[in-house]
Structure formats: C-alpha cells, structure tokens
Amino acid sequence: MRTFVLFASLRNHLSRRFHSQNKNQNQYRLLSSRFLSSSSPPSMASSNSSPAVTIDTINPKVKTCEYAVRGEIVILAQKLQEELQAKPGSHPFDEIIYCNIGNPQSLGQQPITFFREVGLSLHCATIQAILDRSESQALFSADSIERAWQILDQIPGGATGAYSHSQGIKGLRDTIAAGIEARDGFPADPNDIFLTDGASPAVHSMMTLLIRSEKDGILCPIPQYPLYSASIALHGGTLGWGLEIAELKEAVGRCRRPRVLAEENQRDIVNFCKQEGLVLLADEVYQENVYVPEKKFNSFKKGFPIYGVTMGSVEKEEVTWRSLGLLPDIREQIYKMASVNLCSNISGQILASLVMSPPKVGDESYESYCAERDGILSSLARRAKTLEDALNSLEGITCNKAEGAMYLFPRVRLPEKAIKAAEAAKCAPDAFYCRRLLNATGIVVVPGSGFGQVPGTWHFRCTILPQEDKIPAIVSRLTDFHKSFMDEYRG
Amino acid sequence: MRTFVLFASLRNHLSRRFHSQNKNQNQYRLLSSRFLSSSSPPSMASSNSSPAVTIDTINPKVKTCEYAVRGEIVILAQKLQEELQAKPGSHPFDEIIYCNIGNPQSLGQQPITFFREVGLSLHCATIQAILDRSESQALFSADSIERAWQILDQIPGGATGAYSHSQGIKGLRDTIAAGIEARDGFPADPNDIFLTDGASPAVHSMMTLLIRSEKDGILCPIPQYPLYSASIALHGGTLGWGLEIAELKEAVGRCRRPRVLAEENQRDIVNFCKQEGLVLLADEVYQENVYVPEKKFNSFKKGFPIYGVTMGSVEKEEVTWRSLGLLPDIREQIYKMASVNLCSNISGQILASLVMSPPKVGDESYESYCAERDGILSSLARRAKTLEDALNSLEGITCNKAEGAMYLFPRVRLPEKAIKAAEAAKCAPDAFYCRRLLNATGIVVVPGSGFGQVPGTWHFRCTILPQEDKIPAIVSRLTDFHKSFMDEYRG
C-alpha cells in the first residue's frame, strides 16, 4: 500500500487557486510511476476498507528507534499505577517511585522561587498592568518585579504570547551571552545562541544537519544517554560507541574512570577532535550539580573555541544551544531549520536568561535564592551518597561514586540461573532484573542495555531524585528485593 | 572530510565504564571502512586546521529545504529594522510592519484575559500558596482562581515544572477530549491526543513516520503552507501539488474556489482519501476565526472518523494533535517518537485545555471572555475586508474574499518590463515585487512562489493582522507603492 498523504489545510483552503489541468496530468504520471515502482502491493492500492498506513508501510527508522528511559519498563509502571488507583492494595507497594528519568519536580523538588516570581510578575505586567497594583507589590519581591520590567523591555512589543526571532529573543540571548562570558572569561556571541524547547530538538537538529547516510558516524561515550541512540536511529546515522572509548581511554587515561571531566581531559578530547576532524557536541546540561568540592564545572567552550556545539540547560526546561565557531554558512543552515519551527516557547527563553543572570549580592532575593539552590544541591549529594553506599553493600553490585548530575549506574553481577530465567522470559538479563524490581517494589529503574554496556556485563540506571524522607524506605525495599532475588537464583 | 561527531556528554561521563579494547578494534575497523567508502577527500580527514564540517559535508536535504515565511525577505526586513534603529530616518518609513507571518500578538493583539489569569493563578498556587492570600483574590477573577485549582489537581504532584506524560498530562487531555466531543458530537479518546510544542513538531513527526524515501508523496492543496514543503524536503519525501488539485477540483467541484470548506466538500475529500488509500492530515489550526455568518467551522473528524490525523491549535501556541482511528501499533510508534522529546511545555498544555473549555454562561469571566473573543474576530473581519477591497482596487491585482484565518493571497499581474527586471536581478518576479514593496514601505509580505502558484502567475501572501488604527496608513502606502511600481514598468 502507498504511504501517500493528503494535506487538507484549513490555513490555505481559505483563499486558494488551482494548477492547470495539463500540469496536473504530468505531475500525476510522474508521481504514480514512482508509486508503481515502490514495493507496495498494488492490490491494496485503492482498497476501501484497508487502513491508509500500517506498521509495514511506515518509515523503518521509526521502528528501529528505541528510547529506554520511557520504554517498556515505564509503560509497565504506568499500568501498575492505574491498577493501584483502581484497586488499592492490589500490589505489594502503595506507590510507583519513578527513578527512570531526571525529573526532579515530579518527585517533589520545589522550583526556585525567584525564577517563578519573575515569571509571574512578568505575566502580571501583561494583563491590565496588574503589576502596578499594590497587591502585586505585596505578592512578589521587589527585585523580581524590577527584573520582570527589564525583561518585558527586551521583548518586542512586550508580546509574551507572540512568536519570537527564530533563535530566541535577541535581548534574552544578550543576557545569556553575557552570563556565559562571565562564566568562561571568553567572549560569547548572542548570534551563536539558539534557544530550543529542551535538549531533544537541539540534538535532532544537529543529527539532521550532520547525518547524510549510515556512513556518517556519531561517537558516544558509554553509557550514552538514549536520546542520542534514538535520534541517531531516527536520522539513519551510525552510532559508534566502541572506537572513541578506546581512543579516549588513552586521551583521558590520566583518570581511570572519568566522572566529572578534569580540565586536562577536556583538552585531550578537544585535541582528539581536531586531529580526527570531528564535530564535538558537548552536552553540558548539568552545570550546577557537581558534588565534589575539589572539582568544578568547566565548559568545553572555556579555552577550547573549536568547531563544535555545546548544550546547556536550565533545570532541564530550556536549552541554550551555542555553536562554537561554526562557519557562517553552516549557522545559516541551522537558522533555517530553527525557522521552520518558528521559535521555542517564550517562558523557557525567559527562564534561560534568568538562570544565566541570577540574583546578585545585595538583591532582595539573593539570600533566599542561594539558600534554595544550595539546599537542593546538598540534599542531592546526600541522597547520592546514601543510595550509592546502599547499592555497594549488596551482593554482586558495584556502584561508582556520583560526583555530579542525578544518576547512578550500578553494575549487577547476575547469577547464571537468573540469566537463564531471563532467556526463558525472552528479555535481556538486566531488563529481567528491572522488571522484577518494579513488580516487587514499585521502584522504576532503566536497564543498562538502553545506555550501552560492556557485553556480558549488566547495569541499571537509577536517579537519586526521590525526596530525602523517602530514601530510607527505598533503600530497605531495594535491599529486601535484591536479597530475595539473589536467594532465588543463586546457584 | 568526514562528518564524524563525538558526543562528550556530561550526563554520562559522570559514572561510566568502558568497552574492552578488542571490541573497540573491531568496531573501529567497521566504522573506518565505512568512512573510507564515503565520498570525503581523505586528504582532509586528519587536518588540524580544517573545520570539522562544511556546507559541502552537511545533509543535502537541509540545503534544499526552504522556508518562505521566514526566508530572505524577512532577513532583509530585520536588516532594515536595525538600520532604522541605528539611524532613524534612514528609510522612507519609520517602522517595519511584519505581515509575513500569522503572529497576532507581535502586532499588538491582546491575549485573552481569562487564559492569562488562570495561568497566573495556577503558578501563584505553586509558590508558597500565594494564591490563598487575599492579594491574589483581589488580583484575579474568582472563576479563574477556581479553574487554576482544578487544573493543579489534574497535574501529578501539582508539579508544573516537571516533565509530563509523553502525550501530555492525562487530565488535561481528558478536558480536551470532552471539548472535542462537545464540539463534534462524536466520542473523542484522550489516548488519541498528542500535545506538541506548536504545529511544526507534529508535522515533523508525521513526516518522519510516513516518509521512507522520495517515492513517498505528500499531496498539498496550493497555496500550501511552507511548513509542509520545508518538512517534506527535510525528510526526503516528494511534494505533489499538481495531482490532488486536479482530483480535488472534481472532488470539491461544487464550489469553484473553496475557501472555508463546506461539509459536502469535506465528505468528498474523505471519500477521495478512502478510495486512494491516503492518510488525511487535516490542519485545523484556525477554528474560531471564520468570518462569514453563513459558514461555520466543521472539523474533519466530525462524521468522518477515518485513518488520519487532525491538528488543532490554540492561539498558535500549542497544538492538539489527534490521531483519528490510527491502528494501535501505529499509535505506539507515534508515542515512541513523542517520548524521545519527553513532552511539550506544560503552560501550552494547560492553555490547550482552557481553549477547549472556556468560561461558561454564569461564570464571572464569561461576559469579558466573549467580549474579548468577539472583539478580536470582528476586528479581524473588518481588517480583512478593508485590505481586500484596497487590493482589488489596484491595477492588475485580484484578491479573493477572506472567509476566515488571517491571510490574503492576492494575484498580481506584473508587466513584462517588471518580469525582465526581475530576471536581471536574478530573482522570481513576485520576490522582486515583494522586495521593492519592503524597501519602499517597510511592509513585509511573502512571495507566492514559497506557497506554490500556477506557473506564470504571481502572488504574495499578506496577513491582515496589523491593528486597525494602522490599516489606513498601510493601505495608502501600499497603494502609492503599487501605482509608482506599475508606472515604472508599464510597457
């Protein structure tokens, strides 16, 4: 059957004209011959009852694409959650704890008040000058209201509900560039900044730009984030995760298992890219949460102005996407792709500018801002340590120290009998373990196979994001499950 | 040179393990052989100075993709605007009037107060229960505050800053489905609704799903919206805009130039798709603004539950994307693609639910909501009529009646001398006309060639969105320009 689509666009039915008949006939022959030469069974071509598109006639790249962090295990979790709501007590746990994805606020983390206040003040300013009223002054801090007016001045016509420049509002990009400059001590060009609706559209754009065929390879250190393998599959490129590890093993050899990259390791990676003629995509969405006092975040741009793209994120709500010294004609092509989607959401653009210009010493909100930020980061560090220690105390589990971000990637040495049982259940041993864990405890973690792991080794990825008061219960549920699992399958 | 990318991901450097050396060597040979077989000149492969990617090594589909509504003419307009700011009086006009894109609020249209109030109340509720304070009660209408609490209950954990379900928050999709059911009088399944960040990601997803190669064709009635031609080019499909016009000419033959589609025309289109085995993508982003009293909006879903996808939009800020009876396994694939981007922005999801459940009779905000909505629509109708009459009064210009949406697509019969001048300037005659118009008046319109037009005919697309008090000035500037243009080139 033909995958042949008709757009009935209300947009343009509203005032349209027609091609001449002759022209159409030519087009028709041209198109139909194309379809005759396609692999679709002609029998179904004009069937009345058959669906217009089936699983066999869609883009095969979509079928091969997998996205572990929202894959089978999460769909199972959603099913269990519905069962719990419909029939409380129907499972040995009373809630599902989602440790599959870095989604802090879904697990109770409070947003930073200052950012919210600015956003609120700003939007108040857009309806009947509500912001001028005494009630508003009483509701929001003075500096957030002042900041709201500043930002409103940067938005053409103060139109927060309008499409913006394709790269994002210029004034906001100026603020972001200034913040980057202050951070790195090197100039940042606002025209090199593209604001997108999260990291995913930025990654998709780069894959669209760079991948011509499966001959084009994308190298990801493993464990890689499934967004990369998924988008590489969707765009038909080749994911390489062997080569660069061997190369980088030497490149970053000074530290046996790099976690937070030291500056000299970054330099080695940059040189490696220069020598090999590689584009470097630096995913720098976690800049704030580095827990080890002796290490700090260094952007790749800092001191390494090479041909590459770096992505930063603000509470994972908006991504600042800076092209590092890309050729002007390449930037034009990126601009064109950005234009097709018109622009990213304005609230996210505003938030990005706030994150790169937080309250300063002396501002009314400075103390509370620092207190909230540091409170979140120190709590994350404590949670990471607790979970890491608990995991390392379990039979056959080894877990690296988390020096930043919000994830653990423990390795689990599974007994032969468990691996056999997984084979019998027709799934990967780590997926088998994760499913059993979910069914027994309601804790959702992601099988390591979705991230890439050394063949014959098994891991799972687990966020450290449940609120602190829940961690002890999670630890004991995890411990009890693992003990009984190992007892069941120990040879 | 090789397009070979290295991801240095802070996400996963944070706790990673390595492949074994042997494995890497195998991978390495595999990958490198691929690159040797690629067309890139090996000489540059390991050059230190050469850029990692050039215009010749990017995906050619990106180069062929064009997006007229933000193309050359808009880039020129932005340049002129900067010149005006830097040097007022440097051009024969004092401002740029953007009629290139349907962006109402950028031209001064006020947002609907109720929607803003609910959004504000909602976010107030998320910081320190500000919403409970008397000041908030004084700021916002009672029903918007009540609605805010209702919506907050629908958001898991009340976490407005968290990622949601990949399709959008279930409770909000329930509200939207109920609104669609009330509108169409037919059941709507919330599980068939995908909320996206605007129409573009929805169109991209459908193109990704449906296009396997250039053998797959997408039929667009012309003038088509450049989003379609652009995304079809990016995804490597074939745009057909001859065939279906000829076919549909018979199909929708009863009305010679369909603008707002009458119900019987829709039935014909649906039957046409069934017979030909086509997927129907109905872009229904303009549902409210139909100006002719004797016609009203009918969704394609209403009475035509076929295999297809329909897109609705809320003030063009968020798109509700409903798959009409798609096979479950196809919906699974769409879900997977949605998951890769995690979710659309929550504010937009909330707005979508509000638009499908506006204030009802008796609610405090009902009167003001209707007054604002009707005020906008009647003003749009007046502006459309004024511009349409003005255009039709000009030599060689004929313009269809706008029965809805926010665009005019006048045909301009250009003198031979003008066409020759355009050839000399190496651009399409309609682009030549639009550029001259911009340089003389500051008015930005889009050449018809970006939308598709009968060969040998020339059009431009113009929005009706400048505020009413500006319309007279625009009409006289347009008229003066056109007269002098025709005088200059009349044979």
pTM of the model: 0.79
- Would you say residue B184 has pLDDT above 70? yes
**Helices and strands: H and E segment counts in chain B:** 18, 14
**Mean pLDDT, all residues of chain A:** 74
Q: Report CB contact under 8 Å: B10, A284.
A: yes
Whole-number pLDDT of residue A141: 81
| DSSP code at position B396 | T
- Would you say residue B255 has pLDDT above 70? no
**CA A266, CA A295: separation in Å to the nearest integer?**
13
Question: Rounded mean pLDDT of A43-65?
Answer: 65
Q: Report CB contact under 8 Å: A276, B157.
A: no
Residues of B whose CB is below 8 A from A401: 15
**CA A427, CA B100: separation in Å to the nearest integer?**
54
Closest among A454, A181, A448, A443 to A322, alpha carbons compared: A181
| DSSP code at position A49 | S
Buried b (16+ CB within 10 A) or exposed e, B309-322: bbbbbbbbbbbbbb
Length of chain A: 491
Residues of A whose CB is below 8 A from B215: 34-35, 37-38
3 state SS of A458: coil
**CA B386, CA B405: separation in Å to the nearest integer?**
15
Measured between CA atoms, how close is B224 to chain A, in angstroms? 6
How far is CA A271 from each of CA A221, A247, B31, rounded to the nearest angstrom?
16, 12, 20
Closest among B466, B201, B215 to B341, alpha carbons compared: B201
How far is CA B127 from each of CA A124, A317, A375, A468, B158, rounded to the nearest angstrom?
15, 18, 17, 20, 11
- Would you say residue A21 has pLDDT above 50? no
Whole-number pLDDT of residue B292: 63
Residue A309 backbone dihedrals phi, psi, to 5 degrees: -130, 135
Measured between CA atoms, how close is A201 to chain B, in angstroms? 7
Higher model confidence: residue B34 or residue A273? A273
Closest among B17, B360, B138, B403 to A128, alpha carbons compared: B138
Each residue's pLDDT tens digit, B63-77: 888 877 677 888 899
Single-letter amino acid code for the residue at A280: L
CATH 3.90.1150.10 fits B68-107+370-489, yes or no: yes
- Would you say residue A104 has pLDDT above 70? yes
Higher model confidence: residue A228 or residue A82? A82
**Mean pLDDT, all residues of chain B:** 74
**Helices and strands: H and E segment counts in chain A:** 18, 14
**CA B372, CA B141: separation in Å to the nearest integer?**
15
Place of tokens 């001064």: B108
> Which CATH code fits B155-364?
3.40.640.10
Share of chain B above pLDDT 90, in %: 20
Q: Retrieve residue B290's tokens.
A: 């139909």
Each residue's pLDDT tens digit, B26-65: 222 222 222 222 223 333 333 344 556 778 878 888 888 8
**CA A17, CA A138: separation in Å to the nearest integer?**
57
Higher model confidence: residue B29 or residue A180? A180
Each residue's pLDDT tens digit, B256-300: 333 455 566 667 777 777 776 777 777 766 666 666 666 665 655
Q: Which spans in A356-466 are helix H?
A: 366-392, 416-424, 429-441
Please give the angle made by the CA atoms of B60, B64 and B68, to the nearest 5 degrees. Answer: 150
Residues 420-449 on A with a CB inside 8 Å of B are none
**Strand runs labelled E in A40-179:** 97-98
* Sign of the C-alpha dihedral computed for residues A296, A277, B65 and B447 taken in this order: positive
Q: Retrieve residue A11's tokens.
A: 């947009």
Measured between CA atoms, how close is B61 to chain A, in angstroms? 8
**CA A95, CA A78: separation in Å to the nearest integer?**
11
Q: Report CB contact under 8 Å: A52, B5.
A: no
Question: What are the structural domain ranges in chain B?
Answer: 2-58, 68-107+370-489, 155-364
Residue in chain B closest to A314 (alpha carbons) equals B161
Residue pair A243/B31 in contact (Cβ under 8 Å)? The answer is yes
Residue pair A219/A278 in contact (Cβ under 8 Å)? The answer is yes
Closest among B283, B299, B214 to A4, alpha carbons compared: B214
In sequence order, which residues have a C-beta less than 8 Å from that of residue A128 and are 6 or more positions away?
Answer: B113
The pLDDT-based confidence of B430 (bands split at 50, 70, 90) is very high
